[in-house]
Amino acid sequence: MTSKSSLTCEALLTKASTRIDSDSPRLDAELLLSHITGLSRTSFRAWPEREVTDAHAETFEALVQERVAGRPVAHLLGQQEFWSLPLKVSASTLIPRPDTECLVEVALDLPLPPQARVLDLGTGSGAIALALASEHPEWQITACDAVADAVALARDNADALGLTVSVVKSSWFSELTSGRFDLIVSNPPYIPDNDHHLTEGDVRFEPASALVSGSDGLDDIRLIADQAPAWLVEGGWLLVEHGFDQAEAVAGLFHARGFKDVETRQDYGNRDRMTLGRWCSGAEVIDPAFNRGDADAQ
């Protein structure tokens, strides 16, 4: 038998909102209470006086305490919505960010063949690959990640959503078998290793391998730009997410590697957030530092 507490949804939410120190305390509290009670967030507005059982109130309090200690809401719910897809998340991957949906939009706008071959490098939860698969089930999408738990999670998400993505374990291109892609997308790690943001907010609970990339944050983007041409078809696209202040550096790397039609696009906050370029094999390599080496043979 469940006893009723005298606590209403509104009382719980108001109290929790004052304790949670985040950009969106009320939203965080509503998501947690909705998760526990199965009640929708709109119902909290429509029926603020609805009472919550003692058991639910206790579970809510435990989650609020964890949130107050900084744990990301996505980890407490075990889930994060991305491109309207409910994705399972875990501590082994980056929590998908709304801004990465802008990268999906840019990818969907590219002139690609009907059965485009697409590669998502460092897929994490599978967010980008699965969003693209949900829009274009006919595309042949491969997603890779260096972390075994991420590979398992991305496969789980694909199965749960009934979407077809081939998920393979590979650190960037290293373990991929030969093939060429019409589009390579990536949200790689791009935060400089001494960046003060790493001590604030959700990133404290996310793996460094998904966030940090050398002293200027560009180690992985450098490697991707350098190696991608060997994996792109003639006229294929490379599209990467990066930090708001890295657009010039990333565009410089793309140009130096010989990419054409290099462009930077913005996120929801109108910050420079991603850069794309097109590979044409006849393109001149401007910077001799970028030798394609053996990769050319593939």
| Distance (Å, whole) CA 157 – CA 88 | 6
Q: What angle do CA 259, 266, 275 make, to 5 degrees?
A: 15
Based on CB atoms, which residue is closest to ligand GLN, 112 or 128? 128
For ligand GLN, the closer CB: 146 or 283: 146
Strands 166-169 and 140-145: what pairing?
Answer: parallel
**Closer residue to ligand GLN, CB minimum distance, 133 or 210:** 210
Mode of pairing for the β-strands spanning 140-145 and 117-121: parallel
Question: In the numeric block, which tokens belong to residue 153?
Answer: 């999670």
Nearer to ligand GLN, 182 or 206 (CB): 206
Q: Taking the complex as a whole, how short is the minimal distance between the CB of residue 59 and ligand GLN, in angstroms?
A: 28
Over the window 50 to 89, marking each residue x when it contacts ligand GLN by CB under 6 A and - when it does not, the resulting string is ----------------------------------------
Q: Does 121 bind ligand GLN (CB under 6 A)?
A: no
Distance CA(85)–CA(156), nearest Å, equals: 13
Read out DSSP for 34-97?
HHHH---HHHHHH-TT-EEEHHHHHHHHHHHHHHHTT--HHHHHTEEEETTEEEE--TTSPPPP
Q: Does residue number 141 form part of the binding site for ligand GLN (CB under 6 A)?
A: no
User: In the set 72, 96, 126, 189, which binds ligand GLN (CB under 6 A)?
Assistant: 189
**Contact (CB, 8 A) for 129 and 168:** no
236 is a contact residue toward ligand GLN (CB under 6 A):
no
Stretch near ligand GLN under the rule CB under 6 A, chosen from 36-44, 74-82, 187-195, 249-257: 187-195
Among 190, 231, 237, 254, indicate the residue that binds ligand GLN (CB under 6 A). Answer: 190
By C-beta, is 165 or 211 nearer to ligand GLN?
211
Q: How far is the CB of 3 from ligand GLN (least distance, A)?
A: 42
Cross-strand bridge partners of residue 167 = 143
Applying CB under 6 A, among 37, 92, 157, 187 the residue interacting with ligand GLN is 187
